[in-house]
């Protein structure tokens, strides 16, 4: 019976482990026992130097998912793959994921939309310069971060008074 299992790997070596495992499956003639090997990722939008950039980030660093029919041969193929430190589970027995967990991790299932999440690179108390709009070239300090709306509240000094101003992520840049 094919089930999803989680493999623990060295962090940063997930893609290499995926490639090595797929190569071992073919070379050891075990294709019938394996369906998929997946490194879970998601698309995020990062703001760098005032520009929005789409990037792919690993959602579970240090882990690879494999859909397989677990038996001794399949277990040996996975366990002896370079970079694999073991299966996730209780003791020596790998524990399969439930279908809702798989759907959540792989962004599949009924009614699940692949939502792009923005990577927030701003923190409270940080100094920023407004780059566009009526207050361009004003410096201020971040007092609130709203990642859902892609907005910041910045305290700006106007006529020697601190005034809160709401600006978009793409309308500011960090000061060094």
Q: Is the pLDDT of residue 116 over 50?
A: no
Residue 107 banded pLDDT, cuts 50, 70, 90? confident
Query: What does the pLDDT look like over 94-105, one tens digit per residue?
Result: 889 988 888 888
pLDDT at 93: 78
Mean pLDDT along residues 4-31: 93
Crossing angle for the helix pair 72-79 and 14-27, to the nearest 10 degrees: 140
Is the per-residue pLDDT at 56 higher than 50? yes
| Domain spans, the chain | 2-118, 122-174
pLDDT tops 80 at residue 4: yes
Q: Flag whether pLDDT at 112 surpasses 70.
A: no
**Separation CA 45–CA 68 (nearest Å):** 33
**Would you place residue 114 in the very low, low, confident or very high pLDDT band (cuts 50, 70, 90)?**
very low
What is the reported pLDDT for 50?
Answer: 67
The pLDDT value given to residue 113: 41
Minimum mean pLDDT range among 42-56, 112-126, 136-150: 112-126
pLDDT given at position 55: 80
Mean pLDDT in residue range 59-78: 91
Superfamily of 2-118 according to CATH = NusG, N-terminal domain (3.30.70.940)
CATH code of the region 122-174: 2.30.30.30
């Amino acid at each position: 019976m094919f089930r999803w299992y989680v493999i623990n790997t060295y962090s940063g070596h997930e893609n290499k482990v995926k490639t090595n495992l797929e190569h071992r499956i073919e070379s050891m003639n075990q294709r019938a026992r394996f369906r998929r090997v997946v490194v879970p990722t998601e698309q995020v939008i990062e703001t760098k130097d005032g520009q929005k950039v789409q990037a792919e980030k690993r959602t579970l660093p240090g882990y690879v998912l494999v859909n397989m029919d677990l038996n001794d041969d399949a277990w040996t193929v996975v366990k002896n793959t370079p970079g694999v430190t073991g299966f996730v589970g209780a003791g020596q027995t790998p524990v399969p994921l439930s279908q809702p967990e798989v759907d959540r991790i792989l962004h599949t299932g009924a009614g699940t939309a692949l939502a792009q999440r923005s990577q927030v690179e701003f923190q409270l108390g940080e100094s920023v310069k407004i780059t566009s709009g009526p207050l361009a070239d004003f410096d201020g300090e971040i007092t609130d971060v709203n990642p859902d709306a892609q907005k910041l509240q910045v305290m700006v000094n106007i006529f020697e008074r601190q005034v809160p101003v709401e600006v978009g992520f793409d309308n500011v840049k960090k000061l060094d």
